């Protein structure tokens, strides 16, 4: 909205004229000033109006706000004398037209230029425009009602305001062809559509410099219908913009009288009397013509909301009256009033809250006495997800991992990359119907493609050590679909490392082998587990996105809660990543039930006895299977089994892996003989279960 200071001053006496001071007032009234242009003759304010305030799209509406703020009277625009209904014939046949008024008038040649240099965004047809078009635009800018002029000679028969029964094509007065959707409001004569109600007129009836008689339409259309039509047509006009936000339902006759006045004056008349050039006029309210809401208003509530105990009744009611409300006292003792919403505010004021908003705004938000609610002791339970994050952060950041935020979507290329390797189960990607572009069209089912892109890009940019983590959601449809649920969202902690473990360029921190990288990652996985008070175990896994020979499932008490390993070489190749990537993914909801607060562990008074053993493990046998088997066997006194390391002789495939078994009896000191017996059990168990031999 372009607000011209001079024009505003014609409508109301302003308490100040300094543009900077006025800007503060306009902001305070909810008329956000985006820019001020101070010219020698005109000062204009570029105002961003609130979406529900159609009455802020014109000067009279803004003048009313100043009237409310400063209790000054309005100098209303001058009008031609009262128009009385005559036989001008038209019919309203749709409930979406709330009111329709029209004026049939001669249109002699005259010139009109707004003294306030009104601008319109609507590009008219190439035919030179008649001055009446400028005049109508100027009245809209002044009073808010969009109007339309039809060339009387181009109309055939009676006008009807109807709802389009089916989609139809029109040629609009901007010279373009539009498809108008069914249900739209159409203005039709006996043979053709001459305008799309509230949106744009048709070329077939537009006024030109040759037009000698016209019909001026001043109507009120249902905002939602205008919006739907304009959106479907892919057009936004000054008219549709105003109708969508709601116009003054009582404006049509007044606006036509203003037009008659200005035409009269342009033709050299005084403007006041009904111009001789007006042939006929008619104003009809439709079936759905709205009644302004009548709302109860407790002044005590206003005082309480604003924390202004001494705000008196007159201060409140006089401002409401200045804004156009009808105010009636109902119960003096209770401070109950009844307010009738002004005809230009029925679209935005439906509740008592909205009236209070008006009072607060007009009285001045800066005058509200700030307060804080009375607090009672409250002990909110920490959100489990938040607790999870708070606990894992030190483990990850302490290991040098940086938190990142990746998008929640990726493109079909990522989907293809994953699909070629198969999905872990029958999950499917959740697709977006209206993605910004194809690269954002699929909700992420896995964080691997985005981490792959992130790592690959950063490596190319010369980052030599990449360690990142993200707590995010993955989305999908399919296997986890529960009854009545349309998709799943799962919170996951994902982290990945590539390149050097340390960003530093020290010679000692040269690139790690894949095994070193993965085992370093395993250390971080275990640290995360420790931070959460859970003990992670590792077992064989078959995640399709990880290298089949370099991955392990992460479990708690037999439940799989995640996976870690090296990203599949095919994905690395597809993602043009030149380095191996160690990747881990943990399912937060699976872990939470096992998570415990970390506390002190019981320390035994009895000494342990440790025995090391070196086993011959086949090439693809996971050492952790030995640990799991022995711990599950519940061998007496066996407290812990650790993997110490392994050695592969040149030319051999078999691995010599050393384990340490720790035995302890919390009630007494163990004898070596007792441990020897348990070690026999250990060997037997490993032989029978895995056919493993001692090296």
Partner 1 sequence: MTQSPDITSFNLDDFLTKVRTDFAAVSNDSELDETRRSYLGKDGTIKLLLKQLKQVPPESKATVAAGLNEAKKVAEELTEATKGELASRSLQAALSGTFIDLSLPETGAGFGGVHPIRLLERKIDALLAPFGFRIVEGPEVETNYYCFDALNIPEHHPARDMQDTFYTENGHVLRTHTTSVQARELERSSKEKNGGLPVKIISRGRVYRNETEDTSHQSMFHQYELVWVEAGLRLSDLMGILSYLLKGLYGKNRKVRFVPKFYPYTEPSLGAQINCTICNAKGCGSCGGSGWVTILGSGMIHENVLREFGYDPHAVSGIAFGLGTARLAAQFYGADHLKMLYDNDLRSREG
CB of 447 to partner 1, least distance (A): 12
Nearest distance in Å: CB 188, partner 1: 24
Counting contacts by CB under 8 A, is residue 381 touching partner 1?
Answer: yes
Q: Which is nearer to partner 1, 465 or 551 (CB)?
A: 465
Q: How far is the CB of 359 from partner 1 (least distance, A)?
A: 9
Q: Which of residues 282-321 bind partner 1 (CB under 8 A)?
A: 304-307
Is 460 or 542 the residue whose CB approaches partner 1 more closely? 460
Map residue 688 onto helix, strand or coil. Answer: helix
Collect contacts of 32-41 with beta carbons under 8 A, ≥24 apart: 41/6
Least distance from partner 1 to the Cβ atom of residue 45, Å: 11
Rounded CA-CA distance 123/236 in Å is 11
Least spacing, CB of residue 88 vs partner 1, in Å:
32
Closest distance to partner 1 from the beta carbon of 508 (Å): 5
Q: Which residues pair with 585 in a beta bridge?
A: 494, 563
Cβ nearer to partner 1, comparing 351 with 606: 351
Decide whether 89 or 300 has the Cβ nearer to partner 1.
Answer: 300
Part in contact with partner 1 (CB under 8 A); list of ranges 4-12, 260-268, 383-391, 651-659? 383-391
Closest approach of partner 1 to the CB of residue 664, in Å = 33
Decide: is 483 part of the binding site for partner 1 (CB under 8 A).
no
Which of 369, 596, 602, 620 touches partner 1 (CB under 8 A)?
369
The residue (of 128 and 386) whose beta carbon lies closer to partner 1 is 386
Among 276, 326, 330, 402, binds partner 1 (CB under 8 A): 402
Contacts of partner 1 in 49-108 (CB under 8 A) = 50-53
Least separation in angstroms between residue 558's CB and partner 1 is 28
Please, which residue, 486 or 600, has the CB nearer to partner 1?
A: 486
Q: Does 522 bind partner 1 (CB under 8 A)?
A: no
Closest alpha carbon to 495 in 589, 596, 591, 581: 581
Distance, in Å, from the CA atom of 115 to the CA atom of 265, rounded to the nearest integer, reads: 14
Q: Which residue lies nearer to partner 1 by CB, 159 or 341?
A: 341
Q: What's the closest the beta carbon of residue 38 comes to partner 1, in angstroms?
A: 11
**Backbone dihedral angles phi then psi of residue 80, each to the nearest 5 degrees:** -70, 160
Segment interacting with partner 1 (CB under 8 A) among 213-221, 470-478, 609-617, 649-657: 470-478
**What binding mask, one character per residue, do residues 5-24 give for partner 1 by CB under 8 A, x or -?**
---------------x--x-
Taking residues 489 to 518 in sequence order and writing x for each that binds partner 1 by CB under 8 A, - otherwise, the string is x-----------xxxxxx-xx---------
Q: How far apart are CA 29 and CA 360, in angstroms?
A: 10
Query: Which is nearer to partner 1, 131 or 463 (by Cβ)?
Result: 463
Is there binding between residue 375 and partner 1 (CB under 8 A)? Answer: yes
Taking alpha carbons only, the member of 89, 79, 62, 240 closest to residue 155 is 89
- With CB under 8 A as the contact rule, which of the stretches 2-10, 401-409, 550-558, 561-569 interacts with partner 1? 401-409
- Beta carbon nearer to partner 1, 28 or 646: 28
Among 103, 430, 525, 682, binds partner 1 (CB under 8 A): 430
Closer residue to partner 1 in complex, CB, 7/53: 53
Q: Are 547 and 412 in contact (CB under 8 A)?
A: no
Say if CB 140 and CB 147 are below 8 A apart: yes
- Judged by CB under 8 A, which stretch of 351-359, 593-601, 604-612, 619-627 contacts partner 1? 351-359
Furthest C-alpha separation in the chain: 126
Does the footprint of partner 1 cover residue 431 (CB under 8 A)?
yes
Please give the distance of CA 175 from its chain centroid, rounded to a whole number: 36
Instruction: Report d(CA 186, CA 200) in Å as an integer.
Output: 10
- Identified binder of partner 1 from the candidate list 365, 519, 644, 694, rule CB under 8 A: 365
Q: Is 68 exposed, middle or buried (0-12, 13-18, 19+ CB in 10 A)?
A: buried
With contacts defined by CB under 8 A, name the span among 80-88, 255-263, 379-387, 668-676 that binds partner 1. Answer: 379-387
Among 89, 119, 179, 397, binds partner 1 (CB under 8 A): 397
In the beta sheet, which residues pair with residue 102? 217, 282
Count interface residues toward partner 1 (CB under 8 A): 99
Burial class (CB in 10 A: 0-12, 13-18, 19+), 406: middle
The residue within the footprint of partner 1, chosen from 15, 398, 422, 569 (CB under 8 A), is 398
Instruction: Kindly tell me which of 414 and 541 has the beta carbon lying closer to partner 1.
Output: 414
Of all helices (H) and strands (E), which one includes residue 489? strand 488-499
Stretch of 142-150, 366-374, 549-557, 656-664 lying at the interface with partner 1 (CB under 8 A):
366-374
Q: What are 38's strand-pairing partners?
A: 43
Out of 40, 372, 601, 603, the residue judged to bind partner 1 by CB under 8 A: 372
* CA gap 416, 422 in Å, rounded: 10
C-beta of residue 441 within 8 angstroms of C-beta of residue 409: yes
330 contacts 337 by C-beta, under 8 angstroms: yes
Among 301, 296, 304, 300, smallest CA distance to 337 is for 296
Selected binder of partner 1 within 373, 484, 558, 599 (CB under 8 A): 373
Residues 190/191/196/198 CA torsion (nearest 10 deg): -20
3-class DSSP state of 228: helix
Q: Which of 311, 463, 631, 643 binds partner 1 (CB under 8 A)?
A: 463
Question: Per CB under 8 A, does 27 bind partner 1?
Answer: yes
3-state secondary structure 31-74: CEEEEEEECCCCEEEEEECCCCCHHHCCHHHHHHHHHHHHCCCE
Least distance CB 566 / partner 1 (angstroms): 20
Least Å distance, CB 184 to partner 1, is 14
Q: Whose Cβ is closer to partner 1: residue 297's or residue 626's?
A: 297
Q: Which stretch binds partner 1 (CB under 8 A): 78-86, 324-332, 372-380, 546-554?
A: 372-380
How many whole angstroms separate alpha carbon 325 and alpha carbon 352? 13
Q: What is the DSSP string of 453-522?
A: HHHHHHHHTT--EEEEEEEEEEEEBSTTPPTT---EEEEEEEEEEEE-SSSS--GGGPPPPHHHHHHHHH
The single residue among 70, 289, 440, 637 that binds partner 1, judged by CB under 8 A, is 440
Which region, left, alpha or beta, applies to residue 558 given φ > 0 means left and ψ of -120 to 50 means alpha? left
Least gap, CB of 376 to partner 1 (angstroms) = 8
Q: Which three-class secondary structure state does DSSP give residue 108?
A: coil
Q: How far is residue 367's CA from residue 365's CA, in Å, rounded to a whole number?
A: 5
Residue 236 burial class via C-beta count within 10 angstroms: exposed 0-12, middle 13-18, buried 19 and up: middle
Of the candidate residues 85, 403, 540, 612, the single one contacting partner 1 (CB under 8 A)? 403
Q: List the interface residues with partner 1, window 215-244 (CB under 8 A).
A: 223-224, 227-228, 231
CA atoms within 13 A on the CB side of 629: 19
């Amino acid at each position: 909205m372009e607000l011209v200071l001079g024009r505003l001053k014609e409508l109301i006496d302003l308490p100040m004229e300094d543009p900077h001071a006025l800007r503060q007032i306009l902001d305070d009234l909810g008329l956000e000033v985006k820019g001020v242009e101070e010219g020698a003759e005109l000062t204009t304010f570029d105002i961003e109006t609130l979406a529900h305030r159609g009455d802020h799209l014109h000067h009279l509406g803004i003048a009313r706000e100043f009237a409310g703020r400063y209790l000054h009277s309005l100098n209303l625009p001058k009008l031609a004398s009262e128009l009385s209904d005559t036989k001008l014939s038209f019919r309203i046949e749709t409930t979406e037209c709330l009111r329709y008024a029209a004026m049939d008038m001669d249109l002699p040649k005259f010139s009109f230029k707004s003294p306030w240099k009104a601008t319109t965004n609507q590009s008219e047809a190439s035919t030179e425009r008649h001055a009446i078009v400028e005049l109508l635009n100027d009245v809209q800018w002044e009073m808010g009602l969009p109007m339309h002029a039809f060339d009387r000679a181009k109309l055939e028969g009676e006008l009807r305001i109807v709802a389009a029964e089916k989609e139809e094509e029109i040629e609009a007065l901007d010279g373009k062809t539009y498809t108008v959707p069914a249900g739209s409001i159409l203005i039709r004569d006996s043979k053709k559509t001459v305008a799309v109600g509230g949106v744009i007129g048709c070329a077939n009836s537009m006024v030109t410099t040759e037009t000698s008689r016209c019909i001026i339409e001043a109507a009120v259309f249902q905002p939602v219908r205008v919006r739907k039509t304009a959106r479907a047509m892919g057009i936004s006009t000054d008219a549709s913009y105003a109708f969508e936000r709601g116009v003054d339902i009582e404006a049509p006759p007044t606006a036509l009288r203003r037009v008659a006045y200005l035409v009269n004056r342009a033709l050299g008349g005084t403007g006041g009397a009904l111009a001789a050039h007006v042939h006929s006029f008619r104003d009809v309210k439709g079936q759905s013509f709205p009644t302004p809401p009548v709302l109860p208003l407790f002044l005590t509530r206003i005082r309480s909301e604003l924390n202004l105990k001494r705000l008196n009744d007159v201060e409140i009611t006089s401002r409401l009256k200045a804004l156009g409300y009808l105010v009636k006292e109902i119960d003096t003792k209770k401070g109950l009033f009844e307010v009738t919403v002004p005809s230009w505010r029925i679209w935005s004021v439906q509740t008592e809250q909205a009236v209070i908003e008006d009072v607060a705004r007009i009285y001045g938000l800066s005058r509200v006495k700030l307060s804080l609610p009375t607090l009672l002791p409250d002990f909110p339970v920490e959100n489990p997800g938040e607790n999870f994050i708070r606990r894992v952060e030190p483990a990850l950041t302490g290991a040098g991992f940086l938190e990142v935020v990746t998008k929640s979507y990726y493109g079909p290329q990522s989907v293809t990359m994953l699909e070629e390797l198969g999905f872990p189960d029958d999950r499917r990607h959740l697709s977006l119907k209206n993605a910004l572009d194809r690269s954002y069209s699929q909700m992420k089912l896995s964080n691997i493609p985005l981490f792959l892109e992130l790592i690959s890009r950063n490596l190319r940019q010369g980052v030599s050590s990449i360690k990142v983590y993200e707590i995010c959601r993955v989305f999908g449809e399919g296997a986890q679909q529960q009854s009545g649920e349309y998709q799943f969202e799962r919170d996951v902690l994902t982290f990945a490392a590539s390149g050097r473990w340390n960003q530093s360029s020290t010679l000692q921190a040269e690139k790690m082998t894949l095994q070193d990288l993965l085992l370093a990652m395993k250390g971080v996985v275990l640290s995360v587990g420790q931070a959460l008070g859970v003990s992670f175990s590792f077992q064989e896994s078959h995640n399709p996105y990880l290298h089949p020979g370099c991955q392990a499932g992460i479990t708690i008490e037999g439940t799989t809660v995640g996976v870690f390993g090296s990203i599949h070489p095919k994905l690395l190749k597809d993602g043009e990543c030149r380095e191996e990537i160690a990747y881990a993914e943990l399912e937060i909801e699976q872990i939470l039930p096992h998570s415990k607060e970390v506390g002190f562990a019981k320390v035994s008074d009895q000494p342990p006895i440790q025995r090391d053993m070196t086993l011959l493990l086949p090439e693809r046998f996971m050492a952790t299977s030995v640990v799991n088997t022995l711990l599950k066997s519940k061998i007496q006194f066996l407290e812990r089994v650790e993997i110490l390391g392994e050695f592969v002789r040149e030319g051999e495939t078999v691995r010599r892996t050393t384990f340490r078994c720790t035995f302890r009896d919390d009630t007494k000191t163990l004898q070596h003989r007792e441990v020897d017996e348990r070690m026999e059990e250990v060997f037997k168990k490993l032989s029978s279960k895995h056919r493993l031999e001692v090296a």
